[in-house]
Structure 1
Amino acid sequence: MINFINTIKEGFTEIISSPLSLATLIGVVILILALIKFKKVKLDTKIMARIGISLALATILHLIKIVDLPNGAGSINLGSMVPILIIAFMYGPEIGMLTGFLFGIIYLIISPYILHPIQVLFDYPLPFMAVGLAGFFKNKKLIGATFGMLVRFVFHFISGVLFFGEFAPEGWSPMLYSLVVNGSVVGGNLLVILIILSLLPLSTILYNASNVSQ
């Protein structure tokens, strides 16, 4: 029994002391919890059709680049997260997260950059799934979009520190490099999103949301 407890303590200590192991644990736990949540989501034909349309629009908007950052660091596109955010505002965070997760898989297929399985998790399904958290703020779309994109940034930031730190310029720490690169990409895209959402009438989104709930 004592050996068993010591083994657990050693394993826990190793996880805590290793950033990659800790990130693996966090990522897998989040993914498992999300998949459990997704299984409880009830989808009808209308919802599935709207999810499909939002994914198609998000993919098209993703391909329209406004700014390409140097050295393949990423790009600012024409508000590819807006369709996913609207789904989140209309149907709530669960379906918003599911839509974001599916977009992450599509993004992985069309723009794969794979260094490690955990890097894939933190750069594709998890960050875009996080955008769906905006659904918690359906009456405050700008706050919701900012929150969802902030959580998305956290996942990209972790990936940048763990897997892309070697690309940091001389004198830069991996954390600073990841902060600057991912902050520029996510921050630039958030700015475009906020402009687009500001131009979209909130009353229309809320009207659609009220129709969905009836």
Structure 2
Amino acid sequence: MNTKRLTIMTEIAIMAALAYILGMIKLFQMPQGGSISLIMLPIAIIALRRGVVPGLITGFLVGELDHLIGGYVVHPVQLLLDYPIAYTAIGLVGFARPATGVPQLGKVWSFLFAGIAIRFLCHFTSGIVWFGSYAPEGMPVATYSALYNLSYLVPEFIITGIVLTLLAKKAPQQILLARSYTS
């Protein structure tokens, strides 16, 4: 195995573990699942450092860690939507990674938004199909699912985007730019 590939695999493992740990440090915990944390930050960082595929792999691993260590599963499709697919989507931030130099912040925010939009659709769908019984009486299930999921995903998106922006401005060489390795 060459040095570059081993380095990327090591970074993926470290970022997946870091994401899981940051996910345990919750700024706010929702009553039926979901929270505001920095769980998406390491996924976005590895995607910006190494590209889309490492970002997607890291997101998948984070989703599986979240599922295996503390997930709540009522159906196999719900498992896929709420865990691996939802977190894998955050790896789309890797599309903002330029061939050289620091990523443009507008692109970073755009692809972070795309990833969180897919994550929202996963949780929203899961909420409608499997968790609609939590909706208050008289409230449409779709409205409840949308409001519930947006109440923690929007702040998480904003916080992650702000931290990525600060990292891009203050420490781009150390955090966002991977060194070149010769094999």
TM-score scaled by length of structure 1: 0.73
* Structure 2: runs of 5+ lacking an equivalent: 98-102
Q: 1:207 to 1:201 in 2, by over 3 A?
A: closer
Report the count of equivalent residues.
170
| Residue 44 (1) aligns with residue 5 (2) | yes
Contact kept, 8 Å, 1:105 with 1:125, in 2: the verdict is yes
* Secondary structure class of the residue paired with 2:27: strand
- Which whole-Å deviations, capped at 9, do the CAs of 1:113-167 have from their partners, x for residues lacking one? 0111111111001000111111112233222222211111111111111111111
Q: How does 1:9-28 map to 2 (within 5 A)?
A: none
Equivalent of 1:208, from 154, 173, 177? Answer: 177
Equivalent of 1:107, from 62, 66, 69? Answer: 66
1:177 corresponding residue in structure 2? 144
Equivalent of 1:64, from 25, 29, 32? Answer: 25
| Residue 83 (1) aligns with residue 52 (2) | no
Which protein has greater RCO, CA pairs closer than 8 Å, 6+ apart?
2
Contact kept, 8 Å, 1:90 with 1:212, in 2: the verdict is no
Deviation at 1:209, TM superposition (A): 4.2
Question: Which structure 1 residue ranges, 4+ long, deviate > 4 Å from structure 2?
Answer: none
* Structure 1: runs of 5+ lacking an equivalent: 1-42
Kindly, what percent of the aligned residue pairs are identical?
38
Q: 1:211 to 1:141 in 2, by over 3 A?
A: farther
2:100 corresponding residue in structure 1? none
Deviation at 1:210, TM superposition (A): 6.5
Alpha-carbon RMSD: 2.1
Q: Is the radius of gyration larger for structure 1 or structure 2?
A: 1
2:123 corresponding residue in structure 1? 156
1:14 corresponding residue in structure 2? none
Contact kept, 8 Å, 2:27 with 2:35, in 1: the verdict is yes
